[in-house]
Structure 1
Amino acid sequence: MIIFNALGSVFSIVLMISAGFFLSHKGWFDEKTSQLFSKLVCNLAIPCLMISQFTENFDKDKLLNLGGGLFAPFTSMALGYFVAVIISKIIRVKEGRIGTFRSMFFVSNSIFIGLPVNMALFGEQSMPSVLLYYIANTTFFWTIGVYEISKDGQSGKANIISLETIKRIMSPPLISFMFAVILVLFDIHFPKFILDTCKYFGNLTTPLAMLFIGITIYSVNLKEFKFSLDMIAIILGRFFISPVLILILCNLIKTPLLMKEVFVIQAAMPVMTNTAIVSKRYNADYEYATISTIITTILSLLAIPIYMLILG
């Protein structure tokens, strides 16, 4: 029964993505629509979801008990980065792609795709674990990940520790998470109409994100795509090495079941969408990053049910 419920959640995700694909084919959605959906999810829906869910479902004691869950994501990503460095040298990734390859290998799309997927699979109770993984993921991406990508481009290298880095880490989802934590810790309550508004906007997170993926998949011409050795390595990093690393760590430190399941699904998410944006910013190979993001997004539809079966 658990397996059928999990597969049912996956089918629900596939149907929403298929709707985005079909409506793109019909001409309803285009590139501008996908950019709009991306902004709405990251800057409105997810922040509202954080505030509504945390203030409704958490108290001070529950929040203080969450801190220990940061060890597994931070440790697994650090190990994933070192594995990425080793593999990039073994397979001799093309010059100008090395840093981008490493970033894509060990960092996942943990909030834009990861949050709605976990909400669909495990329900609202998965959000705290999703956010713990997100904190580690966004920290690694905007420090080591961006620094590695910047080495591929012709412009100056990014500083791992800088004011710009801090600004990028402090994204709307993370700021809203911190704000929600403050509200809970200091027992601050908003009027019901404000929380209801946040809840309505928060409920847009999953459908908008899934429609975005459908639009993205429709936009790529897979006939022009050819698998290369480094692309295969990225796929292995995203859907095998990263999930296995965190699964082993969670079993070693006896992480609670739901948290372990969420961490594994988060680690098996596709390449982070911001990778292509940052690659373009530093004059790196952003087309390589873009096609890797799209291919891993498509393949995640196969990886998610496989891991749900394993975890189930």
Structure 2
Amino acid sequence: MVFLHALQGILSLQIIVSIAYVLARKGWFSPETQILLPRLVTTVALPSYLFYTITHSFGRDDLVHLIYGSIFPLFSILLTFTVALLVAKITRVERRHFGLFCASFTTSNTVFIGLPVNLALFGDAAAPYVLLYFFANTTFFWSIGSYIMSHDNEALRGSATLLDNVRHIFSPPMLGFLAGLAMTLLGLRLPEFVQEALRYMGNLTTPLALIFIGICLYKMDLRHLHLSRDLVLALLGKLVICPLILAGMLHFVELPELMEKVFIIQAGLPA
């Protein structure tokens, strides 16, 4: 029954992606639309979702437990990055995409793919744990990940300042996440009509993200995809090694079962 429920959840996501793919093929989405959709998700829908979920899923006492749990995604990401560096040097990954290889090996698409997949597999109870992995993943990507990627292109080396990276870390989704934490810690609540508005806007996150994925899949010309050795290594790292490292760490601690499942799913998602 659990497998059937998970399969149905994934199939429902696939239907939305397929509809978006067909509509993109029919020319429904202009270049402006393709810019608007991710902007709506990252600046309106997702911050609302994160804020609403944090303030309605946690109490002050829960946050201490969650902070303890959030340590493991961050440590596993740092350990995976170390492994990625070793693999890249041992296998002599091309210098022109050395940083991209390591970042792709290590980080996950925790929102556009991670949020819909985990909600389909585990329901709304998975959302808080998705947010914890999102926090660790985003912090790493916009600090170490973006820095090492910028060194792939000689013209970009030194162009990204610390202030630029901090600005990316404190993006609208992260601010929504942190604002929800602050409201919970302070024991404050917004008026009911504001909370309802945030809930409605937050519910746009999954469908808009899936529509955008469908458009992206159509725009990708898979016929010209070449599975180079470096790409295969990056895929093995992201889809196999990264979740195995996290699973190995979790084996030695006791965390809620759902938290562990969500973390491992997040770790094994595409970059």
Under a length normalisation based on structure 1, what TM-score does the superposition of the two structures give? 0.83
Give the corresponding residue for 1:15: 15
Question: Cα offset for 1:156?
Answer: 4.8
Counterparts of 1:126 and 1:38, CA distance in 2: 23
Give the corresponding residue for 1:132: 132
From the superposition, tell whether residues 270 and 31 of structure 1 become closer, same or farther in structure 2 (CA, over 3 Å).
Answer: farther
Give the corresponding residue for 1:95: 95
Counterparts of 2:5 and 2:102, CA distance in 1: 35
Q: Which consecutive residues of structure 1, in runs of 5 or more, have no partner in the other structure?
A: 272-312
User: 120-129 or 80-89: which moved more?
Assistant: 120-129
- Larger RCO, structures 1/2 (Cα 8 Å, 6+ apart): 2
Paired residues of 1:126 and 1:259 also in contact (CA < 8 A): yes
Q: Which runs of 4+ in 1 moved over 4 A?
A: 158-161
Kindly provide the amino acid, as one letter, of the partner of residue 94 in structure 2.
Answer: K
Q: Which consecutive residues of structure 2, in runs of 5 or more, have no partner in the other structure?
A: none
Kindly provide the amino acid, as one letter, of the partner of residue 54 in structure 1.
Answer: I
Paired residues of 1:53 and 1:124 also in contact (CA < 8 A): no
Counterparts of 2:110 and 2:171, CA distance in 1: 13
Deviations 1:5-56 (A, max 9, x none): 1111111111111111111112112443222111111111111112222222
Paired residues of 2:45 and 2:203 also in contact (CA < 8 A): yes
Give the corresponding residue for 1:78: 78
Q: Which residues in structure 2 correspond to 1:55-204 (within 5 Å)?
A: 55-158=55-158, 162-204=162-204
Question: Cα offset for 1:160?
Answer: 8.9
Counterparts of 1:122 and 1:262, CA distance in 2: 8
Question: Cα offset for 1:74?
Answer: 1.3
Q: Secondary structure at the match of 1:111?
A: coil
Paired residues of 2:53 and 2:128 also in contact (CA < 8 A): no
Counterparts of 1:143 and 1:53, CA distance in 2: 26
Counterparts of 2:221 and 2:192, CA distance in 1: 47
Give the corresponding residue for 2:215: 215
Kindly provide the amino acid, as one letter, of the partner of residue 98 in structure 1.
Answer: F
Give the corresponding residue for 1:206: 206
From the superposition, tell whether residues 139 and 54 of structure 1 become closer, same or farther in structure 2 (CA, over 3 Å).
Answer: closer
Kindly provide the amino acid, as one letter, of the partner of residue 13 in structure 1.
Answer: L
Q: Secondary structure at the match of 1:248?
A: helix
Give the corresponding residue for 1:249: 249
Q: Percent of aligned pairs with the same residue?
A: 38
Paired residues of 1:80 and 1:242 also in contact (CA < 8 A): yes
From the superposition, tell whether residues 67 and 161 of structure 1 become closer, same or farther in structure 2 (CA, over 3 Å).
Answer: farther
Q: Which residues in structure 2 correspond to 1:296-307 (within 5 Å)?
A: none
Counterparts of 1:16 and 1:249, CA distance in 2: 35
Q: Which residues in structure 2 correspond to 1:229-308 (within 5 Å)?
A: 229-271=229-271
Paired residues of 1:144 and 1:160 also in contact (CA < 8 A): no
Q: Secondary structure at the match of 1:252?
A: coil
Report the count of equivalent residues. 271
Under a length normalisation based on structure 2, what TM-score does the superposition of the two structures give? 0.95
Counterparts of 1:171 and 1:146, CA distance in 2: 14
Question: Cα offset for 1:88?
Answer: 1.1
User: 119-128 or 172-181: which moved more?
Assistant: 119-128
Q: Secondary structure at the match of 2:94?
A: coil
Counterparts of 2:132 and 2:160, CA distance in 1: 21
Counterparts of 2:216 and 2:254, CA distance in 1: 38
Q: Secondary structure at the match of 1:77?
A: helix
Give the corresponding residue for 2:28: 28
Give the corresponding residue for 1:300: none
Counterparts of 2:206 and 2:78, CA distance in 1: 29
Question: Cα offset for 1:140?
Answer: 1.2
Paired residues of 2:24 and 2:215 also in contact (CA < 8 A): yes
Counterparts of 2:209 and 2:88, CA distance in 1: 31
From the superposition, tell whether residues 51 and 95 of structure 1 become closer, same or farther in structure 2 (CA, over 3 Å).
Answer: closer
Deviations 1:241-292 (A, max 9, x none): 1111111111221221101111111111111xxxxxxxxxxxxxxxxxxxxx
User: 133-142 or 86-95: which moved more?
Assistant: 86-95
From the superposition, tell whether residues 158 and 141 of structure 1 become closer, same or farther in structure 2 (CA, over 3 Å).
Answer: farther
Paired residues of 1:45 and 1:203 also in contact (CA < 8 A): yes
